[in-house]
Chain A
Amino acid sequence: MEEPLLEIRGLAKRFGKRSGRELAPWIIQDLTFSVSEGEFLTVIGPSGAGKTTLLNIIAQIDVASGGEVRFQSQSAPIDDLKALQPGLACRIGYVTQDDHLLPWRTTLQNVLFPLTVQGRLNAETRTRAEMLIRTVGLGGFENHYPHELSGGMRKRAALIRTLVYNPPVILMDEPFGALDAQTRTQLQEDLLRLWNLGKKTIIFVTHDIAEAIALGDRTLVLSRQPSHVAGKHAITIPRPRDVRGIMTHPEFGALYQRIRAQLQ
């Protein structure tokens, strides 16, 4: 059987000793799951369940205290601070909760930023960036600075900034959390549309069960600290999904109840 694209085995994490305190409690312990190529995986869990920490470890921003992360059949050096490779050589993209747009760059410049840094900026990639900007409805705002954009627009810019350089895996940490319902629904639709175009592998963290069901092929439910996988749910609702009307789908209710029960 082919190995999954990304495999997490027995991941464990606790933070280092702070002065005066004994060993910190385990944030994550015995966390195991895998992600297939092209899969849209949503991850849901209570606050403080270490979801962001999990993404940080996968993205090689943070070290783990134990366990293994295998990417493309290779084990990543997740326990050695110095060996960390943030983004695993641009193979893992990360859309964080804070958009982290560079305030001194215009929208277009921000979207081009990863290409500049990776030395891949040319006429073709530039055109692709401009197309992406238009796709998410930011056309006309290319030369605006982040402080001139609304929250939703900034999120969109941050999203396509990661999409523009086509990393095979994209981690997303509650990217639509701080937005109003209207904008959120719009962005969910945009995201699905973009995912369809490129068939990327996405790990999407959210605290919103409806969002998890609407977007994902599968949903992982994480437990409270110490986090491990409390349940895996295949979302049997066929694609293309109707994001706005997802709650009316006959299978939604049962799925929702099952997931919510596990979150208690």
Chain B
Amino acid sequence: MTLREAAIDLDTPAPVRSRQHAVTLGRVALAALLLLAWKLFADVAGPLYVADPIKVVQRIVADTLSGTLLRDTYVTLRLSAIGFALGCGLGIALPFLLRRLPRLTAAVEPYIMASVGIPKYALVPLFILWFGIDDAPKLWLVGLLVFYVVFIAVFAGIRSVDRGLIDMARVAGAGEAAIAREVIWNSLLPFFFAALKIALPRAVSAAIIGEFLVGNEGLGYLIEHSRQNLDTVGVFAGIVVATALVLAINALLVTVDRRVNAWRPTDRHMQI
């Protein structure tokens, strides 16, 4: 037994099951504490700054029943979906295209990487100026954000494909399209999925923030509009729903990821 193993062996606490109970209890207690603190802040700071949690719940229920919340959520999600599709499509297609033009890729790559540094949100006013005040500027925003995430991942994924596999496929008579489909696509799937996990929630966030800046529908509009009307309950309600939405998408992705990639050895360091 090495020094390291001996050290780890001695440090591991012995009873595991009671520890699990303590942790769960602690989590529930902390959640309850946070809710209590929220209520306390609401009473102390006043209705302008902190909305009463009970009123927030009532508002969410009321808006759901009246349909406005569902409408707003639908608008935001639709925006995210279309923007995601656009950005994702281009983000996948472009690397495949560039793959066949290595000289162009080498020439263009530094500029693409440099453009990553531009905060895409900063471009929204420009998009509003150029494309109007409907969905277009928001779609550009979401599309761009998704594009960069997917592009970089797919680009890296294609680069890391095993040359030997490609050569083998060629020898076996596969044409370019078949190689792209069979070898390259499958090799870069893990990169793509990793990018999806980041890009999907980000698409929804981007849609919401886009709605802060332009438009008259959607969850982001709801939040910002409420703020302008000093309707704090509305602000809190919108934030709660938006947060819940993104967290739900996150959770869904994690579950799907676990199912689809069940055969891969998990990396213990990736806890998220």
Q: Point out residues on A near B: beta carbons under 8 Å.
A: 15, 52-53, 56, 61-63, 81, 94, 96-98, 100
> How far, in angstroms, from A98 to B1 measured CA to CA in the complex?
12
Q: What residues of chain A lie closer than 8 Å to B1, measured between beta carbons? A: 15, 52-53, 56, 62
Instruction: Give the secondary structure class of B's interface.
Output: helix
Q: What residues of chain B lie closer than 8 Å to A94, measured between beta carbons? A: 3
Chain B interface size range? under 10
> What are the 8 A-B residue pairs with the smallest beta carbon separation, nearest first?
A96-B3, A62-B6, A56-B6, A53-B1, A61-B6, A52-B1, A52-B2, A81-B10
Do A98 and B10 have beta carbons less than 8 Å apart?
Answer: no
Name the contact of B2 in the complex, choosing from A15, A63, A97 (C-beta under 8 A): A97
- The chain B residue sitting closest to A52, CB to CB, is B1
Does B7 have its Cβ within 8 Å of any Cβ on chain A?
Answer: yes
- The chain B residue sitting closest to A62, CB to CB, is B6
Instruction: Give the secondary structure class of A's interface.
Output: loop
Q: What residues of chain A lie closer than 8 Å to B9, measured between beta carbons? A: 15, 62
B13 shortest CB reach to chain A, Å: 12
Do B6 and A98 have beta carbons less than 8 Å apart?
Answer: no
> How far, in angstroms, from A98 to B2 measured CA to CA in the complex?
9
- The chain B residue sitting closest to A57, CB to CB, is B6
A60 shortest CB reach to chain B, Å: 11
Q: B1-30: contact bitstring with A at CB < 8 Å (1 yes, 0 no)?
A: 111101101100000000000000000000
> How far, in angstroms, from A52 to B4 measured CA to CA in the complex?
11
A246 shortest CB reach to chain B, Å: 29
- The chain B residue sitting closest to A17, CB to CB, is B14
> How far, in angstroms, from A189 to B9 measured CA to CA in the complex?
36
- The chain B residue sitting closest to A55, CB to CB, is B3
A49 shortest CB reach to chain B, Å: 12
> How far, in angstroms, from A44 to B6 measured CA to CA in the complex?
21
